[in-house]
Structure 1
Amino acid sequence: MNKIVQLATLSLALSSSIAMAEENIAFINVDYLYVNHPARMVELKKLDAEFKEPADKLKAEEKKLADKKDALEKEIEDKVKKLEKEAPKLRSADIKKRQDEITKLAEKSDAEFKKLVSEHQKNVADFQAQGQKRENEINQKLLADIQSATNSIAKAKNYTIVLDGKTAIYAIEGKDITEDVLKAIPEPKTAEKPATK
């Protein structure tokens, strides 16, 4: 079975290399272009600014939840300590009544707290979904810029095929057009300098 797969792979490689011999092929490093896209840092800063207020609000809600939990636990703990302290002076029926009150309070507090936590978790999930959606929009915009710049360079230099460099095992020197594509991507108004390759 392995030999059949190897023969099929070799056959495919030979037939594709014969077809590619007629093509003018270039390569780009898509990851490098994405990371060094002139608008990437600008877009990420905009995204951070856009989501700063909602993120701060969620952090404040989380702190309120923690404070509320502590307050509820302290209230129940205080009632239990008070009952323990007064128990020797109380009749068993009064002790039972106060234990029931404490139990009901604990159950009510627990239910209220779980509801608040559930609402907070929903808000966090909504926030994350919105952030992911915006991040995807930015990624699509950056990749569209890379595609457009690649198309321009490929047409200008008469390349018939441009591949991502990760797919190439070997390439003739001068066929990597990554830097040309990077230069062809339009600069935003307040772009950060891209990192060097």
Structure 2
Amino acid sequence: MTINASSTVEQIAAHVTAAVRAGQLAPGQRLTEAEFSARLGVSRSSVREAFSRLTADGLLALAPHRGVTVRRLTRGEVDNLFAVRGALEALAVRLATPALSAAPARLAALRRDMDAAAEANDMNGFSDLNARFHALFTETAGNDLLGDTLARLSNSIYWLQFRVMVDRSAVFRTNREHVRIADAVLAGDAAGAQAAMLAHVETARRLIQSLDDDHFAP
């Protein structure tokens, strides 16, 4: 892969994030500046800065005697992550409901496309649509601080690799919850949409917590 000189650090960070999302980098895996410098054809200083940014975002960790690794959380930290994420996602959907119920085309189209992807067992398509579904509420909410905070939380390994970590059928079953969220939003029911989003994030938390201990830090 060749990276342009402009916004090099951002592109390196995006490459690492995409590799994590695809399951090519596992929780606890060690990353080296030399490897990514050679792979991407960039300077080690640029890789170091990208690693630093992703460490600040919580995707990577600087471990004593190990260097930079893909961050693993304890089970307690995972609960904390999902509690905060759920509250913010619920706030986003509540704030976005008036605008989306008044102009429903984008949300209605996303719902149809997600149903089709789930029916076709298209995991990559479903994953992309799921990200767009959640992003639509954040974008429409009109709160930059909320958007920035959710963007940082979305860099958690447990959010990025949800579809890789848990059972494939369980991922597709979560689409029922997307339907409930969308129905409430399209009906202009902000409180119902907020409750449905909280339930959706709680489902994700339970699925992550059902994984073996190897997925978590001690």
TM-score (norm 1): 0.24
Q: Which has the higher contact order (CA 8 A, sep 6+)?
A: 1
Q: Radius of gyration: which is bigger?
A: 1
TM-score (norm 2): 0.22
